[in-house]
Amino acid sequence: MNLLEDLKWRGLLAQSTDEKALLEALSKPTTLYCGFDPTAPSLHVGNLVVLLVLRRFQLAGHLPIALVGGATGLVGDPSGKNEERSLNSEEIVEQWVVRIREQVSKYLDFEAPSNPARVVNNLDWTAPMSAIEFLRDIGKHFSVNQMLAKESVSARLEGGGISYTEFSYQVLQSLDFLELFRRFDCTLQVGGSDQWGNIVAGLDLIRRAESESAHAMTVPLLMKSDGTKFGKTAGGSVWLDPAMTSPFAFFQYWLNTEDRDVINFLKVFSFLPKADIEALEKSHLENPGLRIAHRALARELTSLVHSPQDCERVEAASRALFGQGELHDLDEATLESALSELPRTFLASLNDIPSWVDLIVASGVVDSKSAARRIVKEGGAYLNNEKIAGEDFSPSSNDFIFGRFAILRKGKRDLAAVEVVQKR
């Protein structure tokens, strides 16, 4: 398959300008870009979809540019929003630019001999431009009627309205495309499908300002099969920064993918070839209970976003928590990270430790002592993967791993943690 055919097979091509012309352009090394605005301290797994598309282009021999929006991040993109964004301070945005620049750099090769990647910041060419220059040299090429017709703008006009600040966002994004066209001969912009209007505006600007043509391609916004938003959990977004979403939580997010979504996510996020994914799909359809495809997805993504070593550690922790490995073999940091994702109850010291029944109720996993006692009687109560024999059993200080943690389990899969928070 050529690159576009592969993107189609993976469900990564939503819209494009003249596909025949784009395919012809891609027959030789092409410079393309995608923008990432610093609206948070980290990118999330939704951003990863298009970031990995940039990587696929580079692996196919093209020259990717990751643009971090130091300027556009100060303005706010109206796409997908029903109300004005809260504007962050210049200092905060500058900090987030640095962090996101480091993140996007992880997925691209800057040392490739023939097609090295670049990371740029649109504040570099926007900040020196005066308001008069912006209006005369750039603003004159835009039709207000066309800008009002953009879906992201028209939807806001039907609601509470839109400020001039956010209304001007598409002009700034168009300026980015023009500037990259001039500086690096960048002739293709890639983005999420909600960016189509802004991207096409950039094509128009290049045509008007330079009498040249360029190309555009968008990637579908990923949704789960149940219609809920991809990349969200009860705790919020799934971030790429390990300090915001731990490697263990990241691994578990992919491991817990719905059966209906797992093959689609393997196509979108993994770099496995078609034959390997089809083999995983066959195994998954024949015996979904083995969760072979889920584990492959979790391994691929955790190794890519964090590291193969992190993947090994969190997979060992995942097995150990459910009785398929030795808890005492885990290092303290990995165990702490894994337990941070569980319901927890805290002890001030290891003196007068409550019973297993009291602890599991305090964790919230079981809602009453009578229910907890019934679990013990039925043989479904565990401490550190060891079955509890009696209703009055209380852990001893020796049961606390690293002197801090104990793991409660109800049945096969319901876990909770007990943590000692005494001062050391």
Q: What angle do CA 82, 88, 91 make, to 5 degrees?
A: 165
Give the fold, CATH level 3, of 342-424. Answer: 3.10.290
Per-residue pLDDT at 291? 93
Q: Are 291 and 280 in contact (CB under 8 A)?
A: no
d(Cα 201, Cα 173) in Å, to the nearest integer? Answer: 8
Between the CA atoms of 129, 133, 139 and 141, what dihedral angle is there, to the nearest 10 degrees?
-110
b/e code 276-296 from CB counts within 10 Å (16+ = b): ebeebbeebeeeeeebbbbbb
d(Cα 193, Cα 219) in Å, to the nearest integer? Answer: 5
SS3 321: helix
Domain map of the chain by residue range?
3-219, 223-341, 342-424
Structure-block tokens of residue 13:
């091509």
Helix orientation angle between 196-210 and 169-184, rounded to the nearest 10 degrees = 50
d(Cα 295, Cα 271) in Å, to the nearest integer? Answer: 15
Longest dimension (CA), the chain: 82
Q: What angle do CA 53, 77, 249 make, to 5 degrees?
A: 55
Residues whose CB is less than 8 angstroms from the CB of residue 321 and which lie 6 or more positions away in sequence, other chains included? 327, 338, 407, 409, 415
Per-residue pLDDT at 373? 95
The class that CATH gives domain 3-219 is alpha beta
Structure-block tokens of residue 260:
């209906």
Residues whose CB is less than 8 angstroms from the CB of residue 317 and which lie 6 or more positions away in sequence, other chains included? 248, 330, 334, 335, 337, 338
| CATH entry, 223-341, from 3.30.930.10, 2.40.160.10, 1.10.240.10, 3.40.50.1100 | 1.10.240.10
Over its length of 424 residues, how does the chain's per-residue pLDDT go in tens digits?
A: 799 999 999 999 999 999 999 999 999 999 999 999 999 999 999 999 999 999 999 999 999 999 999 999 999 888 766 777 788 899 999 999 999 999 999 999 999 999 999 999 999 999 999 999 999 999 999 999 888 888 878 888 887 788 898 899 999 999 999 999 999 999 999 999 989 999 999 999 999 999 999 999 999 999 888 887 787 776 688 999 999 999 998 999 999 999 999 999 999 999 999 999 999 999 999 999 999 999 999 999 999 999 999 999 999 998 898 888 889 889 898 899 889 888 999 999 988 899 999 999 999 999 999 999 999 999 999 999 999 989 899 999 999 999 999 999 999 889 999 999 865 4
Same fold flag, 3-219 and 342-424: no
Other Cβ atoms closer than 10 A to 385: 15
pTM of the model: 0.88
